[in-house]
Amino acid sequence: MPTIWLFAIVLVTGLAGFALARGRAVASAGGDTRVMHSRPLYHGLNGLLTAMLPALGLLVAWLILQPVLLDRAVVGAIPPEVLEDGAARSLVMADVRRVADGLDAAIAAGVATPEGLAALTAEDDVRGLLGQAGVALGSDVSPYVLEAARDMRATAATLRVVMWVAVLAVLAIGLGVALKRSHADYRARNFVERGVLVLLVAAASIAVLTTVGIVASMLFETVNFFSQYPASSFFFSTNWDPSFSGRGGGSELGIVPLLWGTLYISFIALLVAVPVGLLAAIYLSEFASKRMRSVAKPVIEVLAGIPTIVYGLFALITVGPLLRDAIASPLGLGNSASSVMTAGLVMGIMLIPFVSSLSDDIINAVPQAMRDGSFGLGATHAETIRQVILPAALPGIVGAVLLAASRAIGETMIVVLGAGAAAKLSLNPFEAMTTVTVKIVSQLTGDTDFASPETLVAFALGLTLFVITLGLNVLALYIVRTYREQYE
């Protein structure tokens, strides 16, 4: 029976626990809810939580751990010389998993019987058999893979039975405990509230788990990558030239040209976004009438709500060709529609609302007394802004610019569609260049081989990107926070 039934059984038992525990508690009070410690609802919830949560937790934990256990159990069937290479190991295991799934599919499709599979050897046409079941294999099945796959199926079947028994047992125990406790004097509310608090804490720690997951997933594969490719060439080589011929040999994976493209594009984007966003924020918070503010502010913020894929398409079909035909080609600077300038300009537009709404908050946080003092000394409005408000708001604005820079560096779709794919170290802004994010996408989409440095490099790029943006964010938040304290 599929696992979803087990989920259903757990849920239904939980609901039954609710009704039973509530009924028992009320009955033990002789139907008079006033003499009970907790209201009947809490007794019901106590039944629900005590019966369901442990079983549900076990089930989820089991499902998460099962793949690891399976791999460990099956590795024994594979000759050790195949496993020596850390990279080949994951390949073989992927093969085994695919064959095992294929055997399952073959039985489900009715092209094979369990007895037939037991008698199957590698000399038989396993590939053809799985092909009939709709599972296409890249190559013929080697004997040890078939053996391991069969092992895997057997272990999986045993594990499934054990899981059913264990989950049902925990469920029964939970229900029993809940019912035993259901009594008019039982402090069900306190118990339920403690349980709910635990759930709340668990929800809050998902954020931490996500960060741990991000760092762990990238760190693990990055270490893998550096065991196959020297770190010094990754960080200092000025050449990006992954070979497509297969594993190892001949790839040059230097991050320098990618970082250069990323920073160049981000720089142009900030060159557009910072002046426009800042001046717009100053005008709206200092000069504009209330009515204009109520119209202009939401309209600028619409720019922030537009998905980046839309900006990407805008760069690709409108801005790129326009820049090429109007500026780049006549001046002889290049004839590529995708260029640093295209991506930078469009990204700048995307960042305008980001800069303007952050600066707006910061300018509004400057105390009115400072403005009044400046006006009292006879300064004009513009002089007040330039010489009093902006210096006072400067740390906050620097923080906003840093946050915008981190956005620009991590932006993907605009550069994928607008910047091009050639890794180059050049100063010409009308030339196509590429960025870290573009290369992450191109190395991880399509046919990927998680054993080759050409694929694994994406994780190293991702980790670099994560560290850079995290550093910028922390720095920005630190600056903004210390600045705020001055006026509060």
Partner 1 sequence: MTDATASGAPATAPANSLMAPDARTARRNAAEKRFRAYGLGAIAVAFGALVVLLLSILSNGLGAFTQAKLSFPVTLQAEQVAEAEGALLKTSAYKAMLQEALAAYLAEQGTDVDAEVAISLLSDEAAATLREFALANADRYGEPVPFTILANGRIDGFFKGRVTYESAELDRNVSPEQLRAAESLRDAGVLTAGFNWSFITAPDASDNRVEAAGLGVAMLGSLYMMLVVLVLALPIGVAASIYLEEFAPQNRLTDLIEVNISNLAAVPSIVFGILGLAIFINWAGLPQSAPIVGGLVLTLMTLPTIIIATRAALKAVPPSIRDAALGLGASKMQSVFHHVLPLAMPGILTGTIIGLAQALGETAPLLLIGMVAFVREYPDAPPEGLFDPASALPVQIYNWTQRADPGFFERASGAIIVLLLFLLVMNLTAIFLRRRFERRW
First to last CA, the chain: 63
Nearest distance in Å: CB 382, partner 1: 4
d(Cα 112, Cα 434) in Å, to the nearest integer? 50
Report the residue number, 59 or 416, with the smaller CB distance to partner 1. Answer: 416
In the complex, what is the shortest distance from the CB of residue 181 to partner 1, in angstroms, rounded to a whole number?
19
Q: In this complex, which beta carbon is closest to partner 1, that of residue 118 or of residue 203?
A: 203
Q: How far apart are CA 309 and CA 441, in angstroms?
A: 14
Q: How far is the CB of 353 from partner 1 (least distance, A)?
A: 8
Q: From the CB of 358, what's the least distance to partner 1, in Å? A: 12
**Cα–Cα distance list, 135 to 89, 92, 123, 145, 444 (Å):** 22, 17, 19, 16, 23
CA distances 230 to 224, 252, 443, 461, Å, are: 11, 10, 18, 14
CB of 116 to partner 1, least distance (A): 26
Rounded to whole angstroms, the Cα distance separating 308 from 269 reads 14
Least Å from the CB of residue 356 to partner 1? 8
Length of the chain measured in residues: 488
In whole angstroms, give the CA distance from residue 333 to residue 324. 9
How far apart (Å, rounded) are the C-alpha atoms in residues 52 and 59?
Answer: 11
- When the beta carbons of 1 and 299 are compared against partner 1, the nearer one is 299
Query: What is the Cα Rg of the chain in Å?
Result: 31
Nearest-angstrom CA–CA distance, 375 and 481: 28
DSSP state of 283: I
Least Å distance, CB 63 to partner 1, is 8
> What torsion do the CA atoms of 341, 343, 344, 345 make, to the nearest 10 degrees?
80
The residue among 144 and 466 lying less far from partner 1, judged by its C-beta, is 466
Closest to partner 1 by CB, 256 or 470: 470
- 3-state class of 57 per DSSP? helix
> Between residues 122 and 421, which has the closer beta carbon with respect to partner 1?
421
Query: In terms of CB distance, is 77 or 214 closer to partner 1?
Result: 214
User: For the residues of 345-373, what is the DSSP string, one character each?
Assistant: HHHHHHHHHHHHHHHHHHHHHS-HHHHHH
